[in-house]
Structure 1
Amino acid sequence: MALYPTPGNLPVLIHLTYPNGSTANSYHSLSAILYAYDPVTGQEELISSAKLSHPLVLNFSQYGITLSNASDYEFGSFPLNSTMVSGIYLVKVPGIYGFDEFVSGIYVVPYIVPGIATEPLTVAPHQNFTLVVFAETLGSPNITVSFLRDGIAYFNTTVNSVETSAGQFYVKEMSLPDIPPGYYTVVAKASYNFSNYTAGGIGITQIYVAPSPLDVTINNLQETELQNSTLVINASIAYQNGTPVRFGTFSAIVIPSYLQGSFDSLAVSNAVPLQYQNGSWVGYFNLPSGGNSNGLGLSPYGLAGSWQIYVSGVAYQGYPVSLKSSLNYNSLNVIPQPYATFVLLPYVLTPTFNGTTGIISIS
């Protein structure tokens, strides 16, 4: 999306085509209409219009672009004064299908990073998550974020910038207070005062706030496991009142502890689905073997050590699992905390020729 961070003249270049892609030349005078767009309400406000013409030559010296045969294009311009450097705008041509969109002032995109992502994206009160706001502009704007439902702001917060070796980021580890459950529009607004004008911007995302999180307990987990064996994951998942969860979508994720910082890249390849069986959610994870090729490319001794078990998912009403996470402000990695750990031994379980099992020690 185009960004115009300062006041000035806004050129509009329009190429009209038929559905088959061929150029459509209009023999009537056309105008472009500029609207201000509110992403929260979806409303459009008429700002101004500009008459379009057929120039023979178009010279955009600022961008190093020259069009010598520009008769296939319609051209015009809008004045972008100091009061308009704030928000999202649409350009339309009456009677013509389609529109163009641009941002004036500050380009703002908020997004939420929970401990483990679910579908739909869900958080619960008092459950920590990471709030990130992308803001592209000149300078370092002030960022405020509101959680709106039915036009009411139930929670407001500010997000400060964090300076890293990769640049400036707006990020905050936080949790929500007790607010009514339901879908919320998360509205991020940015503002920065220059010497002769104030730039602004707005961006939105959505999140479902559940009434409360789910409690998870890993049962009957052995302290040690063998490579090339099957890890049985037996999880009790319950609502806050102790009632077992019988319906939902849940997965278990099993990774080496030293790769906790790479959780995001391993959360798909090292995940197994859980199924509800006799009051518990059960899954089976095939532990890798250093004696054969494995996804981590490690030897038996490289695989050996502490491993972690995570559980992600939501009940059918949208209640998410209660998984704690922490934000590393130096690396900006979000590190979830496991539900359980075990030790993978440097020994490989291998079948013998008679169909029984035995243990071969790797030395």
Structure 2
Amino acid sequence: MALDLTADPVDLCAALVDVPSVSRDEALLADELEAALRAQAPHLEVLRSGQAVLARTDLGRERRVLLAGHIDTVPIADNVPSRRDGDLLYGCGTSDMKAGDAVFAHLAATITEPRHDLTLVFYDCEEIEAVHNGLGRVEREHRDWLDADLALLGEPTNGAVEAGCQGTLRVEVTLRGRRAHSARSWLGENAVHAAGEVLRRLSDYRARDVDIDGCVYREGLQAVGIRGGVAGNVVPDECVVLVNFRFAPDRSVDAAEAHVREVLDGYDLRLTDSSPGALPGLAQPAAQEFLAATGTTASAKYGWTDVSRFAALGIPALNYGPGDPDLAHTRDEHVDTRLITSAAAALRAYLT
């Protein structure tokens, strides 16, 4: 089924949902998007990169705006094809984030003379490990395609603007003891019991609220997992506590790791993964213009998104999409079609 990019973006969203695109299996949808852009948007230069589809204008405008959205979804949960129920459109990926993709693709095809040059990036593998993220591949292979004065990611925000994002890191805290028979426990040292002090420090931890450009980022340091134990009659000699730190974007990853090590001073810590946050960048003219044109006020993004990748390149980036983040990845995932319509209208006003 060929995609009609000029159709109502609500209908386009349903059509996108009806093409399954679970992470690593986006080829069919990428093919459909590429074919539609080449056939229906002759004013755009189109590039295929793996399972990502890129398009852009070259009108010599003073500024360039980049619209980015991932086309992959989490595994389908008996929620494809899409279905309508009044103002609600149900289906896998409706909120996260084929509604945003539909708005971006529709505008790219129907706005032939934007007042800013436009770049579209529809990319793959966002829902799985960061090493596979198609946006990273585009950065490595086609860096110039990411240059812009403002990047807008269609992540679900209920039509609000969420600026920047938190950084995140995880560490493993390893407690060691001495194994013994539980009937003679005094001969051993219980590593699981030793985790109590780590958990107490985390429970007593008081996180910062950080105001950046009027956006308040709330940090959080939490134990998110624990493993240990050998058998029902053995004093365990090892216990590992998994700790996640969500930090405000005024901290670098190195600074965030140093802070966690300070809080858990004296313990054996191993950093397992990390991603930097993104400053809101609201002072940039293109971001101010977007907020004014859409009549919105930005708030902080809780969680990590690919705006971080753009921020690392020195490109201001905002999250703006019609989906509901609370419905992402759920079996009854859906989107309010009125938010698709209003997002398309707001972006059209901004871009024209």
TM-score (norm 2): 0.22
Greater RCO structure (CA 8 Å; 6+ sep): 2
Larger Rg: 1
Hey, which of these two has a bigger chunk of strand by percent?
1
Task: Select the structure that is richer in helix.
Answer: 2
